[in-house]
């Protein structure tokens, strides 16, 4: 089954706009056969996991160190590694990766996906700094190596659609 | 749900006695609510995953580098790390760990479980070198720190029973 | 002794402007007591290591997988991990981190340093995409958590000066 | 230059016999051109690092998480990973690996070296559980794959001699 990874702010109280879009993304994704992978912690990650698991989906949390993570992880992977290193395992394990709005940790995961050649969809207009990635990506690429074209959309339903298409490619 | 990790030889053609015991272990485990975690590759890992998934169970393969692993992994975690490093993630993520017979990689995972304080059950009389761990463990402990008592049994059904008891502890 | 980490493009033939600045940075740094840490590979990393080791400095290469790296590594750390994961070890091990110009791998290391609270100096006007980080950092911070203020300069000598000051702080 | 890794107990007060042998090993090694790699912490690791650095040698400590380690590390690699995972980086980075006496952590590193095909020398008669590895290794091999023959000696000077020979091989 397709493994869809997401990244988003771990802020305990995420920005309302980002949270709403994340919930909509999760409900839309739950209509399809897919396994959800997240960094396993709070904020946007928790919100997406809540919606997705309430609708019967399986959530895999890739956790830093021996953290237990949020209560909606169906499966917990305890990496024993710091939060930045464990991000690479999350991205590596994803057939496609979706950015749902966040700060520096989220932006690192976006750039990792590009660098590791994992197809990448970035949801914009979330209010978070990750929105700026659209300016950083000239013609859809983060650097001169043009590793893999990044897709941007401000619509969470379209983000699901693009993600499923790219994962199947 | 309980996450039960197993270790076993990656030999493409495992020893017959070990393979039979591993299949029996998997069928017994499938009667209970548990998620199976393995190193995701061939040999004993593949055999256990086959039996367990045929009976409806979910198998998580914690893979080295970007390996795709055997065909019975329900979920694939691609660690990007070498096979020894990824073993630690497998052991860290397990609520209890069961040794089903193998060589040096399997023995490393047994010692890691003890060292990381993950409850450990070792199935003996498999024909593999991991059988020797019973001699290495004086009074059930691998060293003077007496971190966690190791359980030994030569009966795969009893191995399931002990594992479920320890995981619940 | 202070451990100064650097990041830069692994392009076999780096941009001339970036290379000249990197060489100047290395020669200036060699006047001081410091150990140089790099990702151990080619391009800007190799150029900096060459200048620094020619002047008697010790270079530690933090390598992906079992790569041997460039010929100017005094000490080789073979992480067994993919290139993105090993970047976190490089950044974690640095008392201060300096960006000398590069693409996505270099930008990831810059964001990691900020996220891991390693003091960060970014050399600009190199011709590489990492120059854009100055626009990404509003008032010197990559996100709303304002973890650690980032310093920018287009002068390699000043980059050394700032790095030594921050590392000592 | 040759990178020699060592493993030994982190017991704050190591067994006297093991400590004496470890000091003798370090003094003998310091007569040769080599860089010493350790897990960076206390006990036998600290004792060896003390002797080796007092005689002018360079010591690299491969540390778990962000630990600072003992005071005799010339260079500190902060892996951000748990102590078992960082062991693999220590072993991977060593041209040859020497066991100086220890418990389960030390035994794990011995088996990792064998599994990762790093030449391995085991100093016996230290009083620690790692002495038992001689019984585990039938005809010098830990398993049926016969990956790399392990050398045993109870003499620390001979351990240096064997290590230098194997590293050069």
pLDDT in tens, B141-155: 999 999 999 999 999
Q: Cα distance from A140 to chain B (closest Cα, Å)?
A: 25
Greater confidence (D8 vs D168) lies with D8
CA distances from A70 to A46, A52, A63, A91, B89 (A): 6, 13, 10, 19, 19
Structure confidence at residue C169 as a pLDDT band (50, 70, 90) = low
Taking only Cα atoms into account, the Rg of chain A, rounded to an integer number of angstroms, comes to 14
Taking 90 as the threshold, does the pLDDT of residue A168 lie above it? no
**pLDDT band at residue A169 under the 50/70/90 scheme:** low
Q: Per-residue pLDDT averaged across D24-51, rounded?
A: 98
Q: What one-character-per-residue DSSP string does A1-57 give?
A: -EEEEEE----SS--HHHHHHHHHHHHHHTTSSEEEEE---STHHHHHHHHHHHTT-
Q: What's the pLDDT at A80?
A: 97
Q: At what angle do helices A156-168 and A16-29 cross, to 10 degrees?
A: 50
Query: How much is the pTM?
Result: 0.97
Q: Is the pLDDT of residue B60 over 80?
A: yes
Q: Which of C33, C77, C82 to probe the D interface (max D CBs under 10 A)?
A: C77
In the numeric block, which tokens belong to residue A105?
């940790």
Residue C71 has pLDDT above 70, yes or no: yes
In angstroms, the Cα distances linking C140 to C64, C154, D97 are 30, 15, 45
> Is the confidence at residue D142, as pLDDT, over 90?
yes
Per-residue pLDDT reduced to its tens digit, A36-64 = 999 999 999 999 999 999 999 999 999 99
Q: Sort out which chain D residues have CB atoms less than 8 A from B91's CB and list them.
A: 84
Number of residues written out for chain D: 169
pLDDT over 70 at D169, yes or no: no
pLDDT at res. A57: 98
Looking at chain C, which subunits does it touch, using at least 3 CB pairs closer than 8 Å as the criterion?
A, B, D
The nearest CA of chain A is from the CA of C81 a distance in Å of 10
Q: At residue D66, does pLDDT exceed 90? A: no
**CA gap A30, A51 in Å, rounded:** 8
Residue B169 pLDDT level (bands cut at 50, 70, 90) = low
Task: Determine the Cα–Cα distance for residues C14 and C44; give it in Å rounded to an integer.
Answer: 6
Task: Average the pLDDT over A129-136 and give the result.
Answer: 97
- For B75-86, what is each residue's pLDDT tens digit? 999 999 999 999
Provide the β-strand partners of residue D96: D4
Interchain pair A85, D84: CB under 8 A: no
Neighboring chain C residues of B67 at a CB cutoff of 8 Å: none
Question: Tell me: the pLDDT tens digits for A75-114?
Answer: 999 999 999 999 999 999 999 999 999 999 999 999 999 9
Percentage, residues of chain C above pLDDT 70: 99
HSE-up of residue C122 (Cα within 13 Å, Cβ side): 29
Distance from CA of A22 to the nearest CA of B (A): 23
Please state, rounded to an integer, the average pLDDT across all residues of chain D: 97
The per-residue pLDDT for A94 is 98
Chain D residues whose C-beta sits inside 8 Å of any chain A C-beta: 65, 80-82, 84-85
C59-76: average pLDDT: 96
pLDDT recorded at residue B168: 73
Q: Which residues make Cβ contacts (< 8 Å) with residue C164, sequence separation at least 6?
A: C2, C32, C34, C96
> Would you say how long chain A is, in residues?
169
Chain A CB contacts of D82 below 8 Å: 65-66, 80-81
Q: At D87, list the tokens.
A: 């062991």
The mean pLDDT value for D37-58 works out to 98
Identify the pLDDT of residue A26. 98
DSSP state of C72: T
Task: Name every chain B residue with its beta carbon within 8 A of the beta carbon of C67.
Answer: none
A1 contacts in chain B (CB < 8 Å):
74
Crossing angle between the packed helical segments C156-168 and C16-29, to the nearest 10 degrees: 50
| Angle at alpha carbon of residue D71, lines to D51 and D120, rounded to 5° | 55
How far is it, in rounded angstroms, from Cα D89 to Cα B93?
20
- For residue B81, the chain C residues in CB contact (below 8 A) are 80-82, 85
Share of chain D above pLDDT 90, in %: 98
Residue contact A81–D80, C-beta within 8 A: yes
Mean pLDDT of C48-76: 97
Across the interface, whether the CB atoms of A77 and B66 are under 8 A apart is answered no
pLDDT at residue D161, as a whole number: 98
Mutate to test the interface with D, among A65, A81, A87 (most CBs of D within 10 A): A81
Proportion of chain A above pLDDT 90, given as a percent: 98
User: DSSP 3-state assignment of C99?
Assistant: strand
Judge whether residue C116 has pLDDT over 80: yes
C contact set with D (CB within 8 A): 1, 3, 35, 58, 60, 62, 66, 74-80, 88-89, 92-93
D80 closest CB neighbour out of C3, C75, C89: C89
Taking all residues of chain B, what is their mean pLDDT, rounded to a whole number?
97
Size of interface C-D (CB pairs under 8 A): 47
Residue in D35, D77, D92 closest to C93 by CB: D77
Residues of D within 8 A of B128 (CB-CB) are 143
Average pLDDT over residues C152-156: 98
> Residue for token digits 């299949």?
B23
What pLDDT score was predicted for residue C48? 98
Q: Grade residue C98 by pLDDT with cuts at 50, 70 and 90.
A: very high
CA atoms within 13 A on the CB side of C60: 31
Helix (H, G, I), strand (E, B) or coil at D158: helix
């Amino acid at each position: 089954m397709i493994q869809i990874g997401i990244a988003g702010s771990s802020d305990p109280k995420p920005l309302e706009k980002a949270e709403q879009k994340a919930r909509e993304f999760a409900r839309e994704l739950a209509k399809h056969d897919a396994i959800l992978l997240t960094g396993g912690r709070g904020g946007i990650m928790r919100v997406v996991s809540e919606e997705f698991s309430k609708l019967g989906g399986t959530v895999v949390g890739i956790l830093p160190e021996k953290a237990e993570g949020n209560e909606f992880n169906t499966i917990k992977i305890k990496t024993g590694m710091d939060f930045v290193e464990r991000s690479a395992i999350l991205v590596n394990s994803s057939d496609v990766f979706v950015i749902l709005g966040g700060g520096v940790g989220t932006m690192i995961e976006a750039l990792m996906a590009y660098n590791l050649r994992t197809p990448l969809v970035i949801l914009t207009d979330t209010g978070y700094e990750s929105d700026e990635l659209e300016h950083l990506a000239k013609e859809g690429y983060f650097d001169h190596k043009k590793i893999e074209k990044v897709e941007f959309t401000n619509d969470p339903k379209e983000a699901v659609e693009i993600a499923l298409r790219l994962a199947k490619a």
